[in-house]
Structure formats: C-alpha cells, structure tokens
Amino acid sequence: MNAIILSAVWGIIMMFSGIVTKSKTAIRNTAIIGLALLLIGNYADMMGYHLVTMEVHKMLYFDTFGLLGNSIAFASTLLLVLLSGRDMEKVGHNLAEYFALIFFVLCGISLVTTFNSLLMLFLGIEIISIPLYILTGSDKKNLKSNEAALKYFLMGSFSTGLMLLGIAFLYGASPMGSFAVDELWTAKPQVSPLMLSGILLLLISMSFKVSAAPFHFWTPDVYDGAPTVFTSFMATIVKVSIFVGFIRLFDEGFGQGAAQWQIFVAIITAATLFIGNITAVFQQSVKRMLAYSSIAQAGFMLLGLLSLTGIAKQGIILYAAAYSLATIGIFAILLRMKDYTFEGFNGLAKRQPLLAATCTIFLLSLAGIPLTGGFFAKYYMLMSVVSTGKFMWLAIFAVLCAAVSAYYYFRVIQAMYFKDGEGGTEVEPSAGFKGLLVLLAALILVLGVFPQTLLHQLTEMIYTW
Amino acid sequence: MIPVLLILIPLVTGLVGFFLKSVTGAKNWSLFSSLVTLVISLWALTLAKDSELLHTDVAWLPDLGSRFSVGMDGLSTILSLLTAVSFPLIFVATWRDEYRGKSWNFYALMLLSQAGLMGVFLATDALLFYFFWELALIPVYFLCSQWGGERRIAVTFKFFVYTFVGSLLMLIGLLWIYSKTPDHSFSMKSFYAMRSVISAKDQVWLFWLLFTAFAIKMPIWPLHTWQPDTYEQSPNATTMVLSAIMVKMGLFGVIRWLAPVLPVGTWAWGDTVSGACIIGMIYASLVAIKQDDLKRLIAYSSIAHVGLMCLAIFATTESGMQGVMIQMFNHGINILGMWIVVDLIERQTGTRKISQLGGLAQTAPVLAILLVVVALANVALPLTNAFIGEFLLFSGVFTSTATQFGVVFTVVAGLSIILSAVYTLNMIQRVFYGSTNTLTAKVTDIRLNEKVVLVAIVGLILFVGVYPKPMLDLTKETAEFILSKMNYKL
C-alpha cells in the first residue's frame, strides 16, 4: 500500500515542482529523493511497517512476490534516473512532467504487481499505459517519435478493449459473479467456453503488453521511435512488472485449469522466442536490436508462465532483476554513443575500456553466460519447465534460440574489442557515471554467484507479513 | 583444499594480471603463477588417496541442491596435472611471441582459462561443472578473437556458437536428471545413483542432450568443422591450450558425467558413436595427408587421435578406460611438443606452409632431433608414451564385449595409425630434410628456453614410455570405479 500512495503523491509533487523551480538539477534531485523514498517505503511494507492500514475489500493482495517485484521496479528506476537522468533533459523542456509521468507509471506498476481483482489489474494497466503513450511521443519535433506514440496508442487501446471484454466474460463465467481472481475458478473439471474465451482474451491482451509474438508488432517501432531513455524504461521496468502481474493473474486465477490453456502459452512462447531472436540477428542499429532482444527475453520469461511452479515465480523475480539491470546498463551506454549502429561501437574498448568492460558483462548476462545473473535467470526458467516433465521440446527450442541470441549480443562485443574504428562517446563520461556502471556490473555478478541473496527475500519476508 | 588452490591461484593471479600494465611483468607473473600451480599439483600426487586435502565441499546454493564441491580422484588428478604441466611449458615456449596491443591482457586471460579448465576437471557437482565448462570458454573466446589470424573473428565465433549450443543442450539434460533425483542434488553421488533409476527409454534420448556437448568439444565427426579453422586462426599459445587441454574436456565429460550416469544410453548408442569415431579417424587422417598448412595438419591429426580415445570409452573395458585416461595426458604432452615446433618455425620463417619449407635439419639440428622424438610419439612407436596409451586403447577395443564389432573397429582404427605415420613422417621429411631455400636458410637453431621445454617434453615422453607404472597405478582404481557404474545391472 505504501508504494501506491507514495508514488501517486510524489507524482503530483513532481508535477508542481516544475512551477516552483526551473532548475533541472533540483527537479532531478527531487525525483531521486522520491524514488529512494519509494524504495524504502516499499521495503518497509515488506517488513510489516505500513503508512496506513486500509480495508481494500480483497481488491489488492500484498504478498512478497508482488512487493519484491515492486522493489525491483523502483530500484531499477532509481538506477535508470541516476545513470541517464541527464539524458532525459535533452528530450524536451518539460522535465518535471516526464518525472511525474514516470511516477504515475510506477503507481500503475504497484497496482499490477499486487492486484487481486481484475478491475485493479485493468486500472493498473491503464495507469501504466497512458503516461507511456505520452512519454513515447515526448520528442515532439521528431516525426518518428510522433508516429511511435500514435501507433502505440492505437494498438494499446485496442488491446485494452480486448482485456475489458475478457474481464467481462470471466465475470459472467465466475460462479459467484466476482472480479476477484481467486474466486474465478469453478471447481468443475470442465472449463466453460465462456471462461476459456475470457482467459484467452486476457492472454492475448497481456501478451500484447509484454510484447509477445504474434502481438509484438508495435514493439520495434515504438521502442525505436521513443526517446532512448524512455525506451530503456519501457523495455525493462514496465515490461518485467507487467510480467509479475501476468504470472500472478494466471497463477491465482487460472492455475488450477492450466491444462486447458497451457498449449496456447506454449505456442506464444515458441513464436516469441523464434521471432524475437531471428529478427534481432538482422538489425543494424543497436537500439533496434535491443528492442527485438527484449521480445526474445520476454519469450524466456513466458516459460515461467507456462510452468507456474514455485521455481517459476522465483525465477521471474530473478529474471526481472537480471534483465533490467543489464538492459538499463546497455541503454545508458548507448545513450552516450555518437552512433547507434553496430559500427558505432567499433573500437570502443580502446577509448573507453571501462565502458566496454561493463557493457561486456551486461551483454554476457543477457546471453546467459554463467557468473552473471542472466545465467541463473535462464536457469530458473528452464528448470521450471523441465521439472514439470512436459514441454521438453520447448525447453530445447528455448536453448537453441538462446544460442542464436549469442550472435547479436556478441556482435557488440566483437565491435568493441576486435574491430578498429572511430566508435566513441559524445563527451567523456563522468566518474559518477562510470562508478554506477561498475555498481551495476557488480550487482549482476553477485546475482550470478549468489542468486539467493535476492530470492531469500521471497521466503524470509513472507512470514513477517 | 588442494583443488580449491588449483582453481583459485590461476583465477586470482589472472585477475591481478589485468592491472600489471607491463609486458615483461605479465610474462614473469604468469610463469610464476603457473609454476606455483604446478608445484601444488605435484604435491597432490604425493598424498594418500583418501587424504582430506584432496576434497573440499562447502555450501553454495542450498535451494538449488548445488554445493561448491571439488575433489580429486585418479581421473581428475591426471587431467589437472596435465593442465598444471602444460601452462608453464606454454609460457616458456612462447616467451618470445609478441602480441599486439595490451599484451598483459593476453597473459591474464590465459591464466583465467587455466582456472576454468581446472574447475571443469575438479568439480564433483554437476552444476559447478557446467559453470566452469562455460567459463573456460569465455577467456579463450577473447584470446582467439583478439590475437588470432586474419579470419579470427568469424572463426572464433563459429567455435563459440558450436560449443554454446552444445553446452546449453547439456544444461537441459543435467536439469532433467536433477529434477528426478530423490534428494534434489547436483552431487556426483546422486547423479551416479540415477543410473538405475532413469528408465532405459529416457536414457536413450537424454544421452544425446549430454553427448552433443561433449562430441562438439572433442570433436567427433561430423561436429568437428570448427576445429581446424579455430586451431589455424588462434594465436599459437591458445592453440596449445585448445588442443592439449580443452579437447580433453569432452572426453572427460563422457567419462565422468555421461557413461556412469546413463549407462544404458551409452551402451545403446555405443556402436553409433563408435562408427562416427571410426569414420572421423579415417577421414581426418586422409585430410591431414593433403594439408599444406602445418597447423591444419596437426589439427586433423588431433581429430584422429581423439576419435580413438572416444572409441575406447564406448568399448567399456578396463584396459580401454585406463588407456583413455593415460592417453589423454600423453596426447596433451605430445601435441604440445608439435605445436611448439610449429610456433618456432612460424616465428623464424614467417610461414606455416609445408611447401615453402625444407632443409631445416641443416640449420636447426637440435630442433630436428627433438621433433623426431615427438613425431614418433605421435605415431605411437614403442618406447614412447603414446605406445603405452594406444596399446591399451586397442586392446580395450579389441576385447570389448559391449560391441560385436570390436574386431572391425580395431582393424579400421589400426589403419588410421598407419595413415598417421604417413602424414607425420611425410611432414618431417618435407620440412626438415631436402635442400634449404631462402626462407629456411637463415633459421637459427633453438634457443635455451625452447630447448628446456622440448627436452622436458621429450623426457616425459620417454619416461612414461619406459616406465608407465605410476600412471597405471594412478588410474586403475578410478577406471574400475567408472566401469562398475557403467554396468547398469549392479
């Protein structure tokens, strides 16, 4: 509850901060303080200290899974703002508004991660989406940014419509006429057609939001067109948080009838892995490659949705952290580059050894090489599928796709280390920037050797609730 | 304790090596580090087999059922010894090689790859083994891509993708076995206990998930296509690591993590794999005869030799199994000798083309004598170490009861030995004898550091060839143990 209240209030504070001061540094610092408070507030929630105790009528349900998901989202946003806050200033004049919108997105995220009623899920998704439409189009003078925003808006509203339809179906099909996800399932062995179509509609609309194939067509254009720092935000924090909600919805709501819909998830997973990885291979721009790579990574996260075991839930938390940290790091470096193509990275290791070294760790983590958090993220996902005993073909397909992904991640490493060229940053990065990158890389390595440091929060904290 | 040191010393010294910023400093540092590792590894030989120093087992990932557990039995002792012996030899032999750019990074990465290899050979926990299996690859990837030949980037990447696909499939296989263990543990003991639990039907397909990774690493025909290219394009010191030690990872993987865990699968596919080995041996030997590039010639010869070792594993006999363990060590030493000579010739003449060389015996007589010994070992002549190893291998295959084609396999494999004599002796004749030309006339004889290394290698070749008893004693117990696990009826 702390997170929802704090993020909404701080969003309003940010909105008015633009009136009080014109100093960009002051605005940015306010946002950083807000994010830090958010993180602390959310952690306090996990420890059992609540700002307010409110009767939520089972609309929300605060468990460690959702709250830890929140923590990852807030911590990642904090790191993103620390790393790339200055790049946000270059987008346009309305810095305070950008931060306000980000806080509203975070408010939506805290609803989606802890919802217990389909209405709350819908509300959360909308609160996330609408500010994102604006952020996508925030580079007002850029035609591509405008196009991306319009495209995102049209496709996004359509998928929201589908979601509402699905919710209505489910409401109709539920035995007691309830929106609460844990009361949806009728104990009957046979699922009614109305219920199944409701589940499928929700599956489709959620797949759209996490850009799973074949509902991914908006992703590359939107990620490419949006200002890069907001792409970074969308591709990491927003995506993984919606995944937390996605898992929650299917686990709490439809987990008992998994056999009925699993095959659809399996098909979506296979398609996402295939399309994301294969298309990423052909990209010339690192930014666009990262857009497709985010689709490919979503495919791996979908494996957790398929199996829905305890391991899968742990895995999605780990995946969220490892993937967000690595991608934010790469985007932060990309933002400083003169040229966004692969050639732009040529010879970076000679000019910026530290940037190249940390970038290598991020890329290795995305590729899933041991000693990085990305390895255990993939490990948990594969383990969750293998332990169910079904869908072995999908696990094998997934690792073959992971091998393909090595191709485009290593292309960046090859460019940085083994090719000569004029690739470099626009200005010399500050020591603080470099220090943060090292911190990010260190976090990824810690997750890669002791993933338990994060996951123990799941099991230890649940008793304090 | 000792296994941990064997991994930690190269790891820590390697990480320090990145910050040395001086070429001579890095050279001295890496040689010092590898010598310390060698001393510790020799110390391990003197200890009793049940000494507590040889095992370490600490909690690592309790929720995942994986422990940081390392230990040394005959198999891991002999391979960690090979790793420990090879690195100082490589460093000394390539002392005069120069690397462009920040060359201290080269030595640091070499040490890191040593740490990874040690980890692979010493791990007694499947997840830990997988961890090191992948980690050993990363430094080598950087070494080859940064300091290799003209086509290095594409070739190294091919190598990387090949092995990455294999190891990911292996991960799925390991996960599947783990998910069936009653105590949810990755430990070697739990895995070996699964051999009678996993149904024959499952073993048959699981076998390929694991074996693909090992077959790529060895490499076995038809998965060998990365190997000649990679050997040719890599810097010489890295080629030595790849061929002397890294290909043994595949053989080691089969012996330690495949055959005792999935004995039915191993038995069921034994003839198929053996057939591939045989085809590969003959094919590689024939291709080797036609090669003009020295590095490619040795690369193909290595495919043939490794094929024979793999063949013997699937024969499931005691002499075969012991032969594999001994021959892994011998082959590492012998091929190291061959590479050192190639490295010398290339550094002095600037070419590796056999057709451009000739008459080196006149300008470098000492080198010629030492090379002939190494080359004879490569052909497995009596009194050399490879004779001991290959004799055991052949008798193992011949007496095998696991296959009904033992005789056929022996005969065809024997053919490849004859072919190996053809290309090895032909190579010596064309490179060292005949008349000198403008390229080879100015070649000087080997200098002290190379002499020391080659004499040490020749010494090892003859010592093991004449007195193989310590090697046989070392491997006997482990070979029997593995074979008892490969008998799924027990």
Kindly report, residue by residue over A197-225, the tens digit of the pLDDT.
Answer: 999 999 999 999 999 988 988 999 999 99
Task: Flag if A386 and B176 touch (Cβ within 8 Å).
Answer: yes
Residues of chain A contacting B172 with CB distance shorter than 8 Å: 382, 386, 392, 395-396, 399
In the numeric block, the tokens 């309830």 are attached to: A178
Q: Which amino acid is at B393?
A: L
Q: CA A230 to CA A139: how far, in whole Å?
A: 10
Q: Is the pLDDT of residue A464 over 50?
A: no
Task: Flag if B146 and A400 touch (Cβ within 8 Å).
Answer: no
Residue A445 confidence class, pLDDT cut points 50, 70, 90:
very high
Taking residue B292's Cβ as centre, other Cβ atoms within 10 Å add up to 12
Q: CA A436 to CA A430: how far, in whole Å?
A: 10
Query: What does the DSSP 8-state code read for residue A56?
Result: -
Inter-residue contact A77 to A135 (CB < 8 Å)? no
* Radius of gyration, CA atoms only, chain B: 21
- Whole-number pLDDT of residue A462: 47
Task: Tell me the per-residue pLDDT of B224-251, one tens digit each, with 9 for 90 and over.
Answer: 888 888 988 888 899 999 999 999 999 9
Give whole-number Cα distances, A26 to A14, A23, A81, A308, B20, in Å: 11, 5, 13, 44, 43
Q: CA B6 to CA B123: how far, in whole Å?
A: 12
A8, burial (CB in 10 Å: exposed 0-12, middle 13-18, buried 19+): middle
Interface test with B, best of A345, A372, A379, A399 (most B CBs within 10 A): A399
Q: CA A400 to CA B145: how far, in whole Å?
A: 23
In the numeric block, the tokens 């590689």 are attached to: B284
CA distance A444 to chain B (A): 16
Q: CA A327 to CA A333: how far, in whole Å?
A: 10
Lowest mean pLDDT among B12-16, B294-298, B401-405: B401-405
Q: Where are the alpha helices (DSSP H) in A92-190?
A: 95-114, 118-136, 143-173
Q: 3-class SS at A115?
A: strand
Listing DSSP states for A442-459 in one string gives: HHHHHHHH-THHHHHHHH
In the numeric block, the tokens 């590969």 are attached to: B280
Q: Which amino acid is at A342?
A: F
Residues of chain B contacting A392 with CB distance shorter than 8 Å: 172, 176
Residue range B189-210: mean pLDDT, rounded: 89
Q: CA A441 to CA A372: how far, in whole Å?
A: 9
Task: Tell me the per-residue pLDDT of A344-383, one tens digit each, with 9 for 90 and over.
Answer: 889 888 888 899 999 999 999 999 998 899 999 999 999 9
Q: Is the pLDDT of residue A93 over 60?
A: yes
Interface test with B, best of A303, A386, A387 (most B CBs within 10 A): A386
Q: CA A358 to CA B348: how far, in whole Å?
A: 39
Domain ranges of chain B: 2-486
CA distance B179 to chain A (A): 5
Q: Is the pLDDT of residue A465 over 70?
A: no
Task: Tell me the per-residue pLDDT of A242-290, one tens digit each, with 9 for 90 and over.
Answer: 999 999 999 888 887 788 889 999 999 999 999 999 999 999 999 999 9
Closest Cα in chain A to B209 = A396
Tokens, residue A206: 């959620």
Q: CA B135 to CA B129: how far, in whole Å?
A: 10
- Whole-number pLDDT of residue A461: 52
Residues of chain B contacting A399 with CB distance shorter than 8 Å: 165, 168-169, 171-172
Task: Flag if A403 and B161 touch (Cβ within 8 Å).
Answer: yes
Which has more pLDDT, A454 or B211? B211
Query: What does the DSSP 8-state code read for residue B444?
Result: P
Nearest to A386 among B142, B164, B179 (CB): B179
Nearest to B146 among A379, A382, A418 (CB): A418
Inter-residue contact B44 to B72 (CB < 8 Å)? yes
CA distance B131 to chain A (A): 6
As a whole number, the mean pLDDT across chain A is 89
Lowest mean pLDDT among A143-152, A159-168, A344-353, B163-172: A344-353
Q: Is the pLDDT of residue B175 over 80?
A: yes
Give me the domain span that covers residue A25: 2-464
Task: Tell me the per-residue pLDDT of B426-452, one tens digit each, with 9 for 90 and over.
Answer: 888 888 888 888 777 777 778 888 888
Task: Flag if A419 and B153 touch (Cβ within 8 Å).
Answer: yes
- Kindly tell me the sign of the dihedral angle through the C-alpha atoms of A348, A354, A360, A363: negative
B56 has which bridge partners?
B70
- Whole-number pLDDT of residue A388: 87
- Whole-number pLDDT of residue A189: 61
Inter-residue contact B324 to B309 (CB < 8 Å)? yes
Residues of chain A contacting B160 with CB distance shorter than 8 Å: 406, 410
Residue range B15-31: mean pLDDT, rounded: 89
Vertex A92: Cα angle to A90 and A96 (nearest 5): 100
Task: Flag if B171 and A451 touch (Cβ within 8 Å).
Answer: no
Q: What's the farthest any 2 CA atoms get from each other in chain B?
A: 70
Give whole-number Cα distances, B381 to B261, B384, B389, B436, in Å: 35, 6, 11, 29
Task: Tell me the per-residue pLDDT of B120-152, one tens digit each, with 9 for 90 and over.
Answer: 999 999 999 999 999 899 999 999 988 888 888
Closest Cα in chain B to A388 = B179
- Kindly tell me the sign of the dihedral angle through the C-alpha atoms of B338, B339, B342, B343: negative
Inter-residue contact B330 to B462 (CB < 8 Å)? no
ipTM: 0.90
Task: Flag if B135 and A371 touch (Cβ within 8 Å).
Answer: yes
Task: Flag if B138 and A417 touch (Cβ within 8 Å).
Answer: no
Task: Flag if A419 and B168 touch (Cβ within 8 Å).
Answer: no
- Whole-number pLDDT of residue A178: 82
Q: 3-class SS at B353?
A: strand
Nearest to B135 among A370, A389, A452 (CB): A370
Rounded percentage of chain A residues whose pLDDT exceeds 70: 97
What is chain A's percent helix, strand, coil content, to nearest 5? Answer: 80, 0, 20
Task: Flag if B131 and A370 touch (Cβ within 8 Å).
Answer: yes
CA distance B282 to chain A (A): 31
Q: Which amino acid is at A70?
A: N
Tokens, residue A352: 């910026």
Nearest to A386 among B131, B157, B172 (CB): B172
Residues of chain B contacting A418 with CB distance shorter than 8 Å: 145-146, 152-153
- Whole-number pLDDT of residue B431: 86
As a whole number, the mean pLDDT across chain B is 89
Of A183-187, A416-420, B163-167, B374-378, which has the strongest mean pLDDT?
Answer: B163-167
- Kindly tell me the sign of the dihedral angle through the C-alpha atoms of B381, B382, B387, B391: positive
Tokens, residue B351: 């070419």
B434, burial (CB in 10 Å: exposed 0-12, middle 13-18, buried 19+): middle
Listing DSSP states for A255-311 in one string gives: GGGHHHHHHHHHHHHHHHHHHHHHHHHT-SBHHHHHHHHHHHHHHHHHHHHHH-SHH
Q: CA A212 to CA A205: how far, in whole Å?
A: 10
- Whole-number pLDDT of residue B20: 85
Taking residue A12's Cβ as centre, other Cβ atoms within 10 Å add up to 12
Q: CA A253 to CA A238: how far, in whole Å?
A: 22
Interface test with A, best of B60, B64, B120, B160 (most A CBs within 10 A): B64
Q: 3-class SS at B316?
A: coil
- Whole-number pLDDT of residue A463: 36
Strands B55-61 and B66-71: antiparallel
Number of domains in chain A: 1
Output phi, psi for B423, to 5 deg.
Answer: -75, -30
- Whole-number pLDDT of residue A52: 81
Tokens, residue B157: 């990447």
B67 has which bridge partners?
B59
CA distance A246 to chain B (A): 25
Inter-residue contact B148 to B250 (CB < 8 Å)? no
Which has more pLDDT, A276 or A421? A276
Q: How many CB pairs under 8 A join A and B?
A: 68
Q: CA B310 to CA B332: how far, in whole Å?
A: 15
Inter-residue contact A274 to A301 (CB < 8 Å)? no
Inter-residue contact A37 to A6 (CB < 8 Å)? yes
- Contact residues, chain A to chain B, C-beta under 8 Å: 364, 369-371, 375, 379, 382-383, 386-387, 389, 392, 395-396, 399-400, 402-403, 406-407, 410, 414, 417-419, 450-452, 455
Q: Is the pLDDT of residue A187 over 80?
A: no
Inter-residue contact B232 to B92 (CB < 8 Å)? no
Vertex B410: Cα angle to B408 and B416 (nearest 5): 110
Q: Where are the alpha helices (DSSP H) in A210-257?
A: 218-225, 228-233, 239-248, 254
Tokens, residue B83: 């790793």
Q: CA A128 to CA A73: how far, in whole Å?
A: 13
How many Cα neighbours within 13 Å face the side chain of B473?
9
Listing DSSP states for A363-418 in one string gives: HHHHHT-TTSHHHHHHHHHHHHHHHHSS-HHHHHHHHHHHHHHHHHHHHHHHHHHH
Residues of chain A contacting B130 with CB distance shorter than 8 Å: 370
Q: CA A182 to CA A185: how far, in whole Å?
A: 7
Q: CA A442 to CA A361: how far, in whole Å?
A: 9
Residue range A410-433: mean pLDDT, rounded: 86
The residues, ordered by sequence, that sit 6+ positions from A60 with a Cβ below 8 Å of its Cβ are: A1, A111, A114, A115, A116, A117, A120
Residue range A311-323: mean pLDDT, rounded: 90
Task: Flag if A396 and B169 touch (Cβ within 8 Å).
Answer: yes
Nearest by Cα to A68 from A105, A113, A104: A113
- Whole-number pLDDT of residue A358: 94
Inter-residue contact B223 to B216 (CB < 8 Å)? yes
Inter-residue contact A327 to A76 (CB < 8 Å)? no
Q: CA A382 to CA B240: how far, in whole Å?
A: 35
Interface test with B, best of A411, A417, A453 (most B CBs within 10 A): A417
Q: Which helix (H) or strand (E) holds A250?
A: none
